[in-house]
Amino acid sequence: MPLFEYVCMKCGHRFEALVLGSQRPVCPNCQSGELEQEISAFAMGHEGRQGSGTASARPAAGCASGGGGGGG
């Protein structure tokens, strides 16, 4: 399901909304339709998985097995 993050341009309220098909969300605070879609952390993580530059996403597993912690 497509979950998007929005910020209302009228009142500044930030919220998440499920958007299906051609639905247009409204601000739950002031009911305004003047919204700006934000880039969500989930979307950033999902995009990053497809690339090869996500080695920093799992450093703890490598360090725990002696993979270069540098502590001792």
What is the average pLDDT across 1-18?
Answer: 91
Q: How confident is the model at residue 12 (pLDDT cuts 50, 70, 90)?
A: very high
Q: Which residues contact 32 (CB under 8 A, 6 or more apart)?
A: 8, 9, 10, 11, 26
Asked if residue 64 has pLDDT above 90, the reply is: no
pLDDT greater at residue 65 or residue 21: 21
CB distance 43 to 49 below 8 Å: no
Q: How many C-beta atoms lie closer than 10 Å to residue 2's C-beta?
A: 10
CATH number 2.20.28 is the correct assignment for the domain at 3-53: yes
CA–CA distance, 16 with 27 (Å, rounded to integer): 10
> What contacts 24+ positions apart, CB below 8 Å, involve 11-17?
14/38, 16/40
Domain coordinates in residue numbering, the chain: 3-53
Instruction: Please tell me the predicted confidence (pLDDT) of residue 22.
Output: 87
pLDDT in tens, 36-60: 998 766 655 554 444 444 444 444 5
Instruction: Determine the pLDDT at residue 65.
Output: 47
